[in-house]
Structure 1
Amino acid sequence: MTLQLQLLSVTALCVLAGNFLVEAAFYHRERSANMENLLPSADRSPDISRTFYGIMFDAGSTGTRIHIYTFIQKDDAGLPVLQNEMYHAVKPGLSAYADMPEEGANTIKQLLRIAKKTIPHSEWRRTPVVLKATAGLRLLPEHKARAILDEVHEVFAKSPFFVPNDSVTLMNGANEGILAWVTVNFLTGHLYAKSQKTVGILDLGGGSTQITFLPKLKKTVNSAPADYIARFDMFNTTYELYTHSYLGNGLIAARLATLGALGADGLDWKVFRSSCLPKKYREDWTFGGLTYKISGTPDGYAGYKLCYHEVLRVIKGIVHQPFEVKGSSIFYAFSYYYDRAVESGLIDGSRGGVVEVRDFKKRAKEVCNKMTKYRPISPFLCMDMTYITCLLKEGFGFKDNTVLQLAKKVNNVEMSWALGATFDYFKHLHIH
């Protein structure tokens, strides 16, 4: 581990955890701490360094990811540092098992085997295991989502790891954005005490999309809907974030909406067409356990302009434009923003990169006007790149010269809400 990451970890954990002492027993939530929910303590001399772990499952709409974090506690009076992360993902997501909850839970068993190999046997009973499900399950009927989560809880209960009381939950979309903001600003070194220098985050998942940033202007706060502003205390500093999660506006859900297939019936015989797809394209496409017949427009026109008008209907009047994003703030964009930028050749997949919003528009035009060339990569690439362009410009209201830092990892740790959620279990952030 680099010295930079060590120093970054100590400083940011200081901010996040205050007087967090790992040996003081692990309260999964301060509001529900009880004797049955305390992490078993370790018997050791106070002057011996100890490594400890946290397991966080991100149950997304297109896949389930396990994040296994390794921390080091140098001494009881000091603060732990993040040493590394083990990451693995499986597809499809749990929502694909809406009618087969037991099979969905079996994918969790597979990922827990990785945790057993990564974490020493002696630490299993002290390592908390948590799963938070996001938009994929939020889009399912409640009884189907609950059936899947109950099966996952059974898997956890039979595992050798420490299982907090609310270890398997459906995650609130606002918390998804807030905890992703915590992760990114932690990894980039922006979470210093009493500092207001932070970066915004843009997370584009399959079922939902989030925007979160720390406003610099009161007008941004005053002009936003009340439930778009979240406040929490961190190391004697109160942060007031602009944050919102748009359920149904993730990349895959937006495909369905663009095709007019979101919530549609008659899937056995209906064909959903779009000028965002190659003209001769026709396939059965499965998402969320349902199969759709989709097609280009063989006798019509295709291309960027027509596609843009199609996806604009999915966004117009739905996405709020925060006052402040019309400025020059820097945002970190990840998940499908990153993936599609790589696939379209906008950035290098091994390094990520810095782009402006106008770069997405330019590349979307090229992809849409040369669909045949890009079809082997993905027949949806035109639709996806156009949707991203439209979401950034017409949705959030970003200017063409807004800088986006596209990244998958920082300091070899995945960009997601998972690390922030793990910290939340160490020391609750008092989000109101």
Structure 2
Amino acid sequence: PPQDWLMVAVAVALCQALIPLPCKHEPDFYGVMFDAGSTGTRIHIYKFIQKDPVELPVLDNEMYHAVKPGLSAYKDNPEELLKIAKKTIPEDEWKRTPVVLKATAGLRLLPEDKANALLKEVREVFDESPFFVPNNSVSIMNGTNEGVLAWVTVNFLTGHLYSNTRRTVGILDLGGGSTQITFLPKSKKTVHSAPPSYIAKFNLFNNTYQLYTHSYLGNGLYAARLATLGALGADGRKFRTFYHLFCVLTQKCFSVILLISFSRRWQIICYAGYKLCYYEVMKVIKGIVHQPYEVKGSSIFYAFSYYFDRAVETGLIDSSRGGRVEVRDFKKRAKEVCNKMAKYRAISPFLCMDMTYITCLLKEGFGFKDNTVLQLAKKVNNVETSWALGATFDYFRNLNIH
């Protein structure tokens, strides 16, 4: 009957107008997520296929691109990356495709007025673009959401969210300004012994999850370097005045000699090998990082970002395949790097400190045993391991993280 066709036409029109949820007659849809981190801005362009509205969508593919430095240093990054989105997404899909930018530790560490000014400029760029710009499309993401959404990404890509067994994997993310740990506790003792703010609940596809998760602002790799050197407070925020930082490598010291001026007073710091370096980085971790009860068991953890990068640079894993390592492997390689700096000199003058910090963070911070196995991955099923895919799900489905 004519009225039925009219109802169908109205439904289709509403579906198109109420973007972003995909319409049933158009199973393909796109999402654009910007990750504005402390050391770079990345764009993730996802194409999904929604075969059944009550089931998980299928991720057809991801287009990923990154630029440096971070948004806090170069505000034109989003405008450059939007050009890539235009080339990737069909033009007739632009007005239906949401663009969202989430800033992480790099902007969380900035003064509030400066961070808000940067976000305002990004919003103006988005508003002038041909894409769909939802409310709150540009914001600073809190640390809890960063950990939870990274967990969603990895467990979606590994197929654990499809399973009814509730078996999942934990995640360890080491960025430049912050680090996150997130996992689904098996033991009530883990939940009861954790600070209340370390437990987060959210809803996803008719399931409620209760995760242990925390983000340590100031314990990212770059922030930890500064804190270890005394140029940054342990919380990652309190900068001390320093006028010059000069690094040279010497075989005699087997490590980094640093000539530093703090408040016009010069001093030389020399970390002679692994043990002294470990002692210094422990000051940035001990008493700050909470040790969850359950990581001492047999939980499986995926580790990525700088965990992956430093493992590649020191030859622990292959850059294309990733791989499994034990915590003791980081420790062993850290000792080698610190005691044979001439061999690793060309890679980075901070490699000894970075590898020692990772070892200390895993052992003294989170409490992992030497034989704990970590799966190091940059991608799973050819998709980047980060919070971006989880954040896209959050946008489309509203996970109600609390």
The two structures have a TM-score, normalised by structure 1, of 0.82
Map 1:25-424; keep pairs closer than 5 Å.
25=15, 38-39=18-19, 50-74=27-51, 80-97=57-74, 104=75, 106-192=76-162, 194-262=164-232, 263-269=238-244, 297=269, 302-424=272-394
Q: Is the 8 A contact 2:29 2:97 kept in 1?
A: yes
* Count of residue pairs the alignment pairs up: 382
Instruction: State the match for 1:17 in structure 2.
Output: none
Equivalent position SS for 1:202:
strand
Distance 2:266 2:347 in 1: 18
- One-letter amino acid matched to 1:170: I
Aligned to 2:3: none
Query: For 2:350 and 2:12, how far apart are their aligned partners in 1?
Result: 47
Query: Hey, what's the Cα distance between the residues in 2 that align with 1:294 and 1:210?
Result: 35
Query: Matched residue of 2:213: which SS?
Result: strand
Whole-angstrom CA distance in 1 between matches of 2:375 and 2:291:
20
Change (3 A) 1:56 1:231: same
Which AA in structure 2 matches 1:256? L
Please state whether the residue corresponding to 1:162 is helix, strand or coil.
coil
Amino acid paired to 2:33: M
| SS of structure 1 residue aligned to 2:100 | strand
Contact 1:56 1:422 in 2 (8 A): yes
Instruction: Quote how far apart the aligned CAs of 1:192 are.
Output: 2.9
CA displacement 1:207-245 (0-9 Å, x = unmatched): 000000000000000000000001122333321100000
- 1:52–1:72 Cα contact (<8 Å) kept: yes
Deviation at 1:328, TM superposition (A): 1.4
Could you say if the C-alpha distance between residues 383 and 270 of structure 1 is closer, same or farther in structure 2, counting changes exceeding 3 Å? Answer: closer
Counterparts of 1:224 and 1:127 in 2: how far apart (Å)? 40
Unaligned runs of 5+ in 1: 1-20, 27-34, 98-103, 285-292
> What is the aligned-residue identity percentage?
74
Q: CA RMSD in A?
A: 2.9
Q: CA deviation at 1:329?
A: 1.0
Q: Is contact 1:212-1:243 (8 Å) kept?
A: yes
Partner of 1:100: none
Q: What residue identity is the alignment partner of 1:54?
A: G
Quickly say closer, same or farther: Cα 1:296–1:366, change in 2 above 3 A: farther
Contact (CA 8 Å) 1:23, 1:76: kept in 2 or not?
no
* Offset, 1:372: 1.5
Shift in alpha-carbon separation, 1:183–1:41, aligned structure 2, 3 A: closer
Q: What displacement does 1:195 show?
A: 2.9
Cα–Cα, structure 1 residues 295 and 278, in superposed 2: closer, same or farther, change >3 Å?
Answer: farther
CA-to-partner distance for each residue in 1:277-320, whole Å, 9 max, x for gaps? 96575689xxxxxxxx99974xx551100100010000010000
Q: Is the 8 A contact 1:64 1:91 kept in 2?
A: yes
Deviation at 1:52, TM superposition (A): 1.5
Name the aligned partner's letter for residue 94 of structure 1: L
- Worse overlay, 67-76 or 234-243: 67-76
* TM-score, normalised by the number of residues in structure 2: 0.88
Distance between the aligned counterparts of 2:275 and 2:386, measured in 1?
Answer: 33
Give the aligned residue type for 1:70. Answer: K
Q: Secondary structure at the match of 2:73?
A: helix
- Separation of aligned partners in 2, 1:367 and 1:205: 21
Summarize deviations over 1:154-187 as a string: whole Å, max 9, x none: 0000000000010000001000000000000000
Output the CA distance in 2 between the equivalents of 1:294 and 1:119: 54
Unmatched tracts of structure 2, length 5 or more: 1-10, 233-237
